[in-house]
């Protein structure tokens, strides 16, 4: 599993909004400036999050973005699935290639399935609030 910039930036935006949730709606420009991401690229990511009801967005004067729920109610796994589409480590587990005809005799499918379960379990156990509270520059660990 390789997480793209879209997934990584989405997580950074979620943490940014969590840190500034008391400030009301946060304009796109402020988020883009703080995260050093182009507004155009960020707008694409934010539209995905708004479409999936993770954020609310409003245009115009006084507009901006905010979280729809408390940061503790969003998991890293949830956000990455929205932006990446899948967390599966191999194509035969992501549901897009149909049932593999070799599944019954494949010596590696069990290992890939367990890895998929570990990845999902770990990422579904880390919330945006956990990331917000984690010391900067350190890896998040359980």
Q: What is the DSSP string of 43-107?
A: HHHHHHHHHTTSEEEE-STT-EEEESS-GGG-BHHHHHHHHHS---SSGGGSSSS---TTGGG-S
Parts of the chain with a pLDDT under 50: 141-142
Kindly tell me the sign of the dihedral angle through the C-alpha atoms of 46, 48, 53, 54. negative
Q: Which residue has the tokens 């010391």?
A: 135
Domains belonging to the chain, first-starting first, are 5-133 (1.10.10.10)
Rounded to two decimals, the pTM is: 0.87
> What is the structure's pLDDT at 98?
61
Quote the pLDDT of residue 91.
80
Assess contact for 74 and 55: CB atoms under 8 A.
Answer: no
**Which neighbouring-strand residues pair with 65?**
26, 57
Is 71:21 a contact under the CB 8 Å cutoff? yes
In the chain, what is the straight-line distance between the N-terminal and C-terminal CA atoms, in Å?
A: 20
pLDDT tens readout for residues 15-49: 999 999 999 999 999 999 999 999 999 999 999 99
What tokens were used for 116?
């998929």
Neighbours of 74 (CB within 10 A): 22
What is the structure's pLDDT at 94? 74
User: Residue 23 has what pLDDT?
Assistant: 92
Q: Determine the pLDDT at residue 142.
A: 44
């Amino acid at each position: 599993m390789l997480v793209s910039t879209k997934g990584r930036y989405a997580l950074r935006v979620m943490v940014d909004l969590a840190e500034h949730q008391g400030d009301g709606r946060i304009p796109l420009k402020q988020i883009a400036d703080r995260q050093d991401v182009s507004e155009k690229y960020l707008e694409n990511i934010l539209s995905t999050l708004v479409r999936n009801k993770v954020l609310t967005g409003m245009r115009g004067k006084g507009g901006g973005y905010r979280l729809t729920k408390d940061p503790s109610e969003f998991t890293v796994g949830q956000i990455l699935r929205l932006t990446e589409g899948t967390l599966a480590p191999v194509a035969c587990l992501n549901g897009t290639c149909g049932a593999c005809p070799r599944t019954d005799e494949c010596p590696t499918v069990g290992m890939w399935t367990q890895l998929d379960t570990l990845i999902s379990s770990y990422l579904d156990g880390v919330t945006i609030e956990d990331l917000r509270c984690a010391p900067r520059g350190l890896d998040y660990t359980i």
